[in-house]
Amino acid sequence: MNTVYVNGEYVPQSDARVSVYDRGFLMADGVYEVTSVLDGKLVDFDGHVKRLWRSLSELDMAAPVTEDELLEIHRRLVELNNIEEGGVYLQVTRGAAPERDFAFPNPDEVPSTLVLFTFAKNLVGSPAADKGIKVISIEDIRWGRRDIKTVQLLYPSMGKMLAKKAGADDAWMVEDGFVTEGTSNNAYIVKGNKIITRGLSNDILHGITRAAVLRFAQEAQMEVEERNFTIEEAQQADEAFITSATTFVQPVVAIDEAQIGDGVPGKVARRLREIYIEESRKAAI
C-alpha cells in the first residue's frame, strides 16, 4: 500500500487522516503543488517550491517546513512508493481551528496541515501525446487570483465534466473573449514558427512547465509571443497545445469541434515535447 506523509509522519494511505475541522476541507483554504517524477527523480523541484512559497505568502499562510525538509520528504516518498515515473502531490492548508470561523486562526495557535502523496503515471509514453486531445471552450468564471495555486478546483472539475459530456478531453476557459488557460494546464497556439500564449498576470497560473517550455523554445530559435488570443484565432492556427507537470507538452487537435491544422499533433508541439522530456531528464534531482 502507498505511504502518505501527514504532518511529520509517514503512514499507510488507509491510516492517513486530517481533521473534519481542517480549513482545507471546510473552506478550500489551502494551496497545492504537483511535481512530476522521471527516472525516480523530481522535475523542476526548485520552481515548484518557489511557487509554493509565493502561494503561501499571498495568503498569509506560514510555511510548515523548510525547503530542504520538503525536498527530503519528496525524495523519501518517491523511494518508499517506488515511483519511477509519475508525480508527487503536496497540499498545505491553514490547519484545523477548534471551530468553524471565517476569520483566519492565529498561526501560533493553529499549525498548518501538510500532506504529500505520490502517484505512478505513464508521462513520457502517454497515448494522448501521440493522438492529441480535443478541447471545448467554456466561460472562465473562477475567482480573480488564479496565480495562487489554491485547492478551489470545483469549476475546473466541472469544466472537465462538460468536456467529457461533449466527447472532448478538456476545456479551455475564456474571459472577455480571450482564452485564459485550460482546466489544469496552460494554453498555446502556433503560427508558423511563432508560439503564442497569454502573458502572466493574476488571470492564470504561472505554470512551471510553461516557464521551462518557453525557455527551451527560445533556445531552439522559435519565436515566443506572450499575448491574448481568441478561440477563433486558435481554430485557425497551425497548431495548438497545452503544458502542465502531468502532461508535459500535449498537442491539441480540435477546439469546439474545429480541426486544428491537419487534425494530428503538429511538428512544433512534438519537437517541444521531445526537448522538454530530454532537458527535464537531465536536470531532474
Q: Which residues bind ligand PDD (CB under 6 A)?
A: 34, 181, 184-186, 205, 207-210, 243-246
- Copy the grid coordinates of residue 215: 525557455
Closer Cβ to ligand PDD, 94 or 146, answer by number = 146
Bridge-based pairing state of the strands 186-191 and 239-244: antiparallel
**What is the spatial distance between Cα 152 and Cα 183, in angstroms, rounded to a whole number?**
12
183 burial class (0-12, 13-18, 19+ CB within 10 angstroms)?
A: buried
Closer Cβ to ligand PDD, 93 or 246, answer by number = 246
**Least distance (Å) between residue 17 CB and ligand PDD:** 23
How open is the CA angle 179-183-187, to the nearest 5 degrees? 45
**Least distance (Å) between residue 76 CB and ligand PDD:** 21
**Least distance (Å) between residue 206 CB and ligand PDD:** 8
Closer Cβ to ligand PDD, 114 or 123, answer by number = 123
Taking residue 148's Cβ as centre, other Cβ atoms within 10 Å add up to: 18
Catalytic residue among 121, 131, 149, 191: 149
Closer Cβ to ligand PDD, 24 or 207, answer by number = 207
**Least distance (Å) between residue 191 CB and ligand PDD:** 22
Closer Cβ to ligand PDD, 162 or 264, answer by number = 162
**Least distance (Å) between residue 198 CB and ligand PDD:** 11
Write down the residue that cell numbers 523554445 correspond to.
Answer: 217
Q: Which are the contacts of 52, defined by CB distance < 8 A and separation ≥ 6?
A: 31, 33, 63, 70, 90, 92, 149
**Least distance (Å) between residue 262 CB and ligand PDD:** 26
Q: Which of 239, 284, 227 lies closest to 266 in space, CA to CA?
A: 239
**What is the spatial distance between Cα 138 and Cα 29, in angstroms, rounded to a whole number?**
25
Q: Which are the contacts of 133, defined by CB distance < 8 A and separation ≥ 6?
A: 168, 169, 170, 242, 250, 251, 252, 253
Closer Cβ to ligand PDD, 11 or 151, answer by number = 151
For residue 189, the cross-strand partners are 196, 240
Q: Which of 265, 278, 276 lies closest to 134 in space, CA to CA?
A: 265
Helix (H) or strand (E) holding 273: helix 267-283
Is 149 catalytic? The answer is yes
- Copy the grid coordinates of residue 217: 523554445
Q: Annotated active-site positions, please?
A: 149
